[in-house]
Amino acid sequence: MLVQPDPTFYPSPREAMRAPRERLAYVALLDARGDGRPDGLATVDLDPGSPAYGTIVDVQDMPVAGDELHHFGWNVCSAALCPYAPHPHVERRYLVVPGLRSSRVYVFDVKDDPARPRLVKTIEPETIFERTGYSRPHTVHCGTDAIYVSALGNVDGDAPGGVFMLDHDTFEPIGPWEADRGPQRLHYDFWWHLGHDTMISSEWGTPNMIEAGPDLDLLLGRKYGHRLHVWDLRKRTHLREIDLGDQHQMALELRPAHDPTKTHGFVNTVISVEDLSANIFTWYLDEGTWKARKTITIPAEPADPGLLPAPLKQFGAVPPLVGDISLTLDDRILLISAWGTGELLAYDVSDPLAPRQTGSVRVGGIARRDPHPGTAGVARNGGPQMVEVSRDGRRVYFTNSLYRSWDDVFYPEGVSGWLAKVDIADDGSLTLDPDFLVDLAEDGRRPHQVRLQGGDSSSDSFCYP
């Protein structure tokens, strides 16, 4: 408990962009071999003045194997400064780390030694099952009144998926968030417009639909998620669903505008069953009604079938397979990771209904295997996947593993892990940093979510513009 608010909390995105530069990154490492080795939480040095810059300085292994660590987050963030938040003097000191396969949740303390997180609490799956009715915790967001965690399904791995809450102080599960879920059954991500008491959620599929890898019958049958759901954040009730079109399968990451006076945001759909493209939709409030419009299409790329894994040979093309998006704190540049084609794209979204591409870099990819400029001639697999942008909007860190069973379908020889960095120029163009590449080949585990010490562009919500 602090006398003054945590200095990493900022009342507005503008103030957060003036914060000190990040010095450390925390990265989830997945053991994909399944031979009893646990997943890990790695700490990477991001201080350019440090002799350890660009290297892993610590790895904390989980106590048991089989977790599949996924989208972890902070216990609290700038939302604690909202006038109705009951905890203005808590600290951003704990990382809440969910195991997507195990349904276990870990809590790490980074206050005393930020480079070496310390495990202080484990929430066993049975506790989550009993108190929430959910399983497969996926994404963590810090809210004004609790820690919010998305879950992909119920205890049996079926629908409905949804959101449950953890207590800010004890980290004990409070219970499911929804008071009235209406027609919502599938679930993936969630986020909010705090200034408008509105939450948005998206859809992927139940654990039983995704854990064995992508199911072609489900995909062609248009059974994966393709809707957004609009909720009353205070009342916890479903208000409206927005169908993006069932050809647009797997509506995943949600990135609302950081300015709380704005009423728009962005969501990616992974694949179109009509042309293999990936698409970005902008949601917005129009005369009191929440709507969505397709604003970016990223086409599939022709490729030699001999270079493609079995599911793609018949198409002779590589789908972009957009798995993540990230929005700079000034709401200007949207970063899009095309894991299939090995491309990271940047769009100026100052006009959210008319995005304009400003940059692109390539590394990896299913067919291309583009090298990193720091290791010319070395083919890379995987591709830009989880994306994290610094608070000042100048640096982008990204990893190359999506999800174990899906990795193995599209990269059947396995994914050799790496973490790369891109610099964003004033005009929104992108440049791969040739001097920054964290190669995890020797460790053997695959990197997924990245969090930056003190916060990043996707870990804070604000109550003031």
pLDDT reported for residue 88: 66
Which DSSP state fits 415? Answer: P
The fraction of the chain above a pLDDT of 90, given in percent, is: 95
| Total structural domains within the chain | 1
**Within-domain flag for 257:** yes
Q: What is the CATH number for 332?
A: 2.130.10.10
Distance CA 12, CA 332 (A): 15
pLDDT surpasses 90 at 329: yes
Q: Tell me the average pLDDT across 274-281.
A: 98
Average pLDDT, the chain: 96
**Within-domain flag for 39:** yes
pLDDT surpasses 80 at 1: no
**Within-domain flag for 402:** yes
pLDDT reported for residue 29: 98
**Within-domain flag for 5:** no
How sure is the predictor about 2, in pLDDT bands with cuts at 50, 70 and 90?
Answer: low
Task: Give strand ranges (E) for 94-186.
Answer: 94-98, 105-109, 118-123, 134-142, 147-154, 162-166, 173-176
Q: Tell me the average pLDDT across 322-347.
A: 98
Q: Please write the tens of the pLDDT for every residue from 57-69.
A: 999 999 999 999 9
**Within-domain flag for 2:** no
Q: Which domain holds residue 358?
A: 13-452
How sure is the predictor about 3, in pLDDT bands with cuts at 50, 70 and 90?
Answer: low
pLDDT surpasses 90 at 342: yes
CA 419, distance to chain mean position in Å, is 15
Q: Output the DSSP codes for 186-245.
A: ----EEEEGGGTEEEE-B---HHHHTT---HHHHHTT-S--EEEEEETTTTEEEEEEE--
Q: Tell me the average pLDDT across 379-408.
A: 97
pTM over 0.95: yes
| Bridge partners of residue 271, in order along the sequence | 249
Instruction: Judge whether 283 and 294 are in contact, CB under 8 Å.
Output: no
Q: Please write the tens of the pLDDT for every residue from 429-463.
A: 999 999 999 999 999 999 999 999 999 999 999 99
pLDDT: is 239 or 84 the higher one?
239
Q: Tell me the average pLDDT across 325-352.
A: 98
pLDDT reported for residue 61: 98
Distance CA 118, CA 73 (A): 15
Distance CA 181, CA 159 (A): 12
pLDDT reported for residue 87: 73
**Within-domain flag for 168:** yes
pLDDT reported for residue 8: 93
pLDDT reported for residue 85: 85
The fraction of the chain above a pLDDT of 70, given in percent, is: 99
pLDDT surpasses 90 at 5: no
Distance CA 203, CA 186 (A): 5
Q: Tell me the average pLDDT across 242-262.
A: 98
**Within-domain flag for 465:** no
**Within-domain flag for 31:** yes
Q: Please write the tens of the pLDDT for every residue from 134-181.
A: 999 999 999 999 999 999 999 999 999 999 999 999 999 999 999 999
Average the pLDDT over each of 80-84, 209-213, 335-339 and give the range with the smallest value.
80-84
Q: What Å distances lie between residue 322 and 1, 206, 255, 387, 459, CA to CA?
A: 40, 19, 14, 11, 20
Strands 322-327 and 333-338: antiparallel
